[in-house]
Amino acid sequence: MITDINRLSGLQKAAILFSVLGEGLALTLVKDLSKTSVRKVRAAMRDLDNVSFAVKKHVMEEFYFSFVSEKFQDEESDEPKKPFIFLDDLTDEQLIALVKPESDSVAAIALAQIPGERRNKVINSLSAESKGKIIMEMGNLNDIPLEAMVNVANDLHKKSKFLPKTVAFSRGGGKEVAEILGGLSSEEEAQFLENIARENPDLAAEVKKYHLTWDALFDLLTDSIIRDLMNSVELDTIAMALKGMSEDITNRVIENLPKKKQAMFDPVERAVAKREVELARKTIVASAKQMEKDGAFNLADLVGGGEMVE
């Protein structure tokens, strides 16, 4: 089983991302991959051993971190006269995020450019081993040519543009995981939820506060909410969504339809593609989420045993 994120290549991380999201969804988010790169990712997916949930979560968080970042536009006219002056515009947290992945020598160069109080804060966030090496490197900076210093400044400046702004920064968590799960197929969604519940029960409990599923509609919502929900979607969509459901749930939905719709209801008896049923169910779930936004109910309260808002 793959458990060490630090031993993964970029290609392997991409393969894990594709395996979690599914290729279709991943390609809509990562639009600049060439056909050759996609083929390499597919091959890497086939070669992947079992990957731990912790590694998958780390890869997803890395992707989310990059996804919300602003795209860097390199304009020479905006280059500062002092190569490292851009460091002054970074928050302490951004500075730590910028320095941590760098080599000891590059980190030492960057930290030598900032005031002592900020420098200490960044150094204290590092491991004892890295801290010792960086301090040693800072004592030998006089040996580094000016051209190399400028190149380091330019490289770090470009990388700093990919750091999220404070207002856009997210630390992941239940809400973000729920948003990702909402874009998966029902089978992938169920499998991923099962993995989360097994490997991280606290995260699973948090996800449930934000993630509404088709099956949960009938476990959590009262008849009055179901009545309003089913009235907000087309009758054909309801019939398709109920394909393969138990008689109890089907009867409950029909009984909460207006009399006129009950009379018009025509169950789907023919064989249909699974994706049609899944699409119909996702349509109804989306309507339920809209009802929650409008204040009809609060999912977090229902999951936690709170009272329904009628």
Q: What is the spatial distance between Cα 231 and Cα 117, in angstroms, rounded to a whole number?
A: 61
Query: Among residues 68, 92, 108, which one ends one of the domains?
Result: 68
Same domain, 228 and 274: yes
Same domain, 199 and 174: yes
Q: What is the spatial distance between Cα 193 and Cα 178, in angstroms, rounded to a whole number?
A: 10
**CATH code of the domain covering residue 203:** 1.20.5
Q: Residue 2, SS3?
A: strand
Sort 195 into a burial class: Cβ within 10 Å, 0-12 / 13-18 / 19+.
middle
**What is the CA angle 29-32-36, rounded to 5?**
115
Same domain, 62 and 17: yes
Q: What is the spatial distance between Cα 163 and Cα 231, in angstroms, rounded to a whole number?
A: 45
Query: Among residues 68, 100, 117, which one ends one of the domains?
Result: 68
Q: What is the spatial distance between Cα 68 and Cα 170, in angstroms, rounded to a whole number?
A: 8
Same domain, 148 and 219: no
Distance of CA 93 to the CA centre of its chain: 20
Q: 63: Cβ–Cβ under 8 A, 6 or more apart, which residues?
A: 17, 29
**CATH code of the domain covering residue 273:** 1.10.220.30
Same domain, 206 and 287: no
Same domain, 198 and 289: no
Q: Are 41 and 33 in contact (CB under 8 A)?
A: yes
Q: What is the spatial distance between Cα 44 and Cα 99, in angstroms, rounded to a whole number?
A: 30
Same domain, 53 and 19: yes
Query: H helices of the chain, where?
Result: 10-21, 23-29, 35-47, 53-67, 92-99, 104-111, 116-124, 128-138, 146-160, 174-181, 186-199, 201-208, 214-220, 223-231, 235-241, 247-255, 259-264, 274-293, 299-303
Same domain, 54 and 142: no
Q: What is the spatial distance between Cα 211 and Cα 226, in angstroms, rounded to a whole number?
A: 17
Same domain, 207 and 217: no
Own/partner pairs, 76-80, CB within 8 angstroms, 24+ separation: 79/157
Same domain, 255 and 279: yes
Number of domains forming the structure of the chain: 4
Over its length of 310 residues, how does the chain's per-residue pLDDT go in tens digits? 677 777 778 788 888 878 877 777 677 666 667 788 888 888 888 877 777 777 777 777 666 555 544 333 444 444 445 788 999 889 888 899 899 888 888 898 999 898 888 888 888 888 888 888 888 887 777 767 777 788 888 899 988 888 766 544 444 567 777 877 777 777 888 888 888 888 888 888 888 888 888 888 898 889 999 999 999 999 999 999 999 999 999 999 999 999 999 999 999 999 999 999 999 999 999 999 899 888 888 888 887 644 333 3
Query: Among residues 25, 50, 68, which one ends one of the domains?
Result: 68
Domain span holding position 186: 170-211
Same domain, 192 and 224: no
Q: Residue 126, SS3?
A: coil
Residue given tokens 């599923």 in the structure block: 213
230-273 residue pLDDT tens: 999 999 999 999 999 999 999 999 999 999 999 999 999 999 99
77-107 residue pLDDT tens: 444 457 889 998 898 888 998 998 888 888 9
Distance of CA 205 to the CA centre of its chain: 17
Same domain, 225 and 288: yes
